[in-house]
Amino acid sequence: MSTLVEILKDPQTLRRVAADAADLIDREVRGKAGISGIALKAGYKTVKTMRPTMVEDAVAHLLPDFAGRLDEHLVKGREQGDVRVYFRRHADPIAHALLGVTDGKASRAKNAVLKKVYDGLRPTAHRHTVEAVPALADLILRHVK
């Protein structure tokens, strides 16, 4: 069985996974409601307006780091017999792992507008990421055999 780190070494696969992840992010953002949903949608719109491919490009850039953090959960999910169930049960630590990557990148960002948008959205990012983890498991399983 392959891992995310292994499959993402192929540039075409990396781009396919990044495109799927960008679609997942689009769906997650569209589905948000309430005050935090409005703020998330506004920040997301700002990013997409600046450069329409920014989300997919950013995901492609982050995927190798994400893969390193996600592979350990993929392995444990396989060992326990159901990756989807494992991801649902461990959504909190998986979200922490992913946000650890983005926090590190954001702290080194040179683009002041992006940094401001990220900093504004970060307080609710953990909850939103936890909510997206089950769909993330499905995305991973579509690409990793």
List the domain boundaries for the chain.
Answer: 4-143
What does the alpha-carbon distance between residue 2 and residue 60 come to, in Å, rounded to a whole number?
A: 19
Share of the chain above pLDDT 90, in %: 68
Residue 60 and residue 31: Cα distance in Å, rounded?
23
Q: Is pLDDT above 80 for 114?
A: no
Q: Which residues contact 132 (CB under 8 A, 6 or more apart)?
A: 24, 25, 28
Q: Is the pLDDT of residue 71 over 80?
A: yes
| Over residues 10-36, mean pLDDT | 94
Instruction: Calculate Rg over the CA atoms of the chain.
Output: 15
Whole-angstrom distance, CA of residue 46 vs CA of residue 31: 17
Average pLDDT, integer, range 6-17: 96
Q: Is the pTM of this model over 0.85?
A: yes
Half-sphere exposure of 125 (CA within 13 A, CB side): 19
pLDDT confidence of residue 115:
85
Report how far residue 126's alpha carbon sits from residue 35's, in angstroms, rounded to the nearest whole number. Answer: 16
Which secondary-structure segment (H or E) carries 143?
helix 112-143
Residue 44 has pLDDT above 90, yes or no: no
